[in-house]
Amino acid sequence: MGFKNYCFKKSLWVFHFGGASCNNCDIEILDCLTPRHDLERFGILLVGSIRHADVLLVNGSINIHDKERLIEIYNQAPKPILVVAIGACGCTGGLFTESYTFAGPVDKIIPVNAYIPGCPPKPEAIIAGIVKLVKSS
């Protein structure tokens, strides 16, 4: 188990699910992959297909339409998959908690492994969250 777990931790491929986001979190996530922060140092890659993913990043408030898609994406992912909720909307619902289209924060819909709060979280905060996730898994 040690070797498998080590390889898994060393090569996390990330799939990005954007709910009804205001795009600030999307931009901060992309910032993590830019030369200044460079997540590829830790073997983290952004992949295009959920079938290749190890981490599902969810940001933005999840409304009624997003809920079905999020569940479908989660079921399509090969297990084991880690789910990270990014931003105030992903963690708690933030500004949109009272809204009539809001379908609950991410952890009401799928199991979440890590929360990275902030509106939007800085790239440093996202990297700190990923490091904590890697250490705990």
Partner 1 sequence: MAVNLFYFLVFPGLLFVSVTGALLSWFDRKISARVQFRQGPPLLQPFYDFFKLLLVKETILPRKGSPMIFLLAPVFAVFGATMAGVFILLPLFNISTGFRGDLLVIFYLLTIPSFSYITGALASGNPLAAVGSSREMKLILSYELTFLLVIAGIIMKCGQKFDLYSIIQTQQAGSPFIGSISGVLLFIVALFCVQAKLAFVPFDMPEAEAEITGGIFIEFSGATYALIKLSKYIMLFILPSLLVALFMSGFMLNGIHILWAVLKVIGIVLLITLIKNTNPRIKIKQAMSFFMVWMNLIAVIALVLIAFGY
Q: What angle do CA 68, 71, 75 make, to 5 degrees?
A: 135
Strand 45-46 vs strand 114-116: parallel, antiparallel, or unpaired?
Answer: unpaired
Site membership for partner 1, residue 136 (CB under 8 A): no
Size of the site for partner 1 (CB under 8 A): 23
Contact flags string 25-64 toward partner 1, x per CB under 8 A: ----------x--x-xx-x---xxx-xx-x----------
Q: Which of residues 68-97 bind partner 1 (CB under 8 A)?
A: 76, 78-80
For residue 45, the cross-strand partners are 13
Applying CB under 8 A, among 2, 3, 98, 100 the residue interacting with partner 1 is: 3
Q: In what side-by-side order are the strands of the sheet with 55-59?
A: 45-46, 13-18, 55-59, 82-86, 114-116
Supply 86's token pair: 């990014």
Site membership for partner 1, residue 135 (CB under 8 A): no
For residue 84, the cross-strand partners are 57, 114
Site membership for partner 1, residue 10 (CB under 8 A): yes
Kindly tell me which of 23 and 76 has the beta carbon lying closer to partner 1.
76
For residue 55, the cross-strand partners are 14, 82
Which residue is it, tokens 């990043």?
57
Kindly tell me which of 35 and 100 has the beta carbon lying closer to partner 1.
35
Residue 101 C-beta: closest distance to partner 1, Å:
27
Quickly count: other Cβ atoms within 10 Å of residue 73's Cβ: 18
- Write out the residues near partner 1 by the rule CB under 8 A: 3-8, 10-11, 35, 38, 40-41, 43, 47-49, 51-52, 54, 76, 78-80
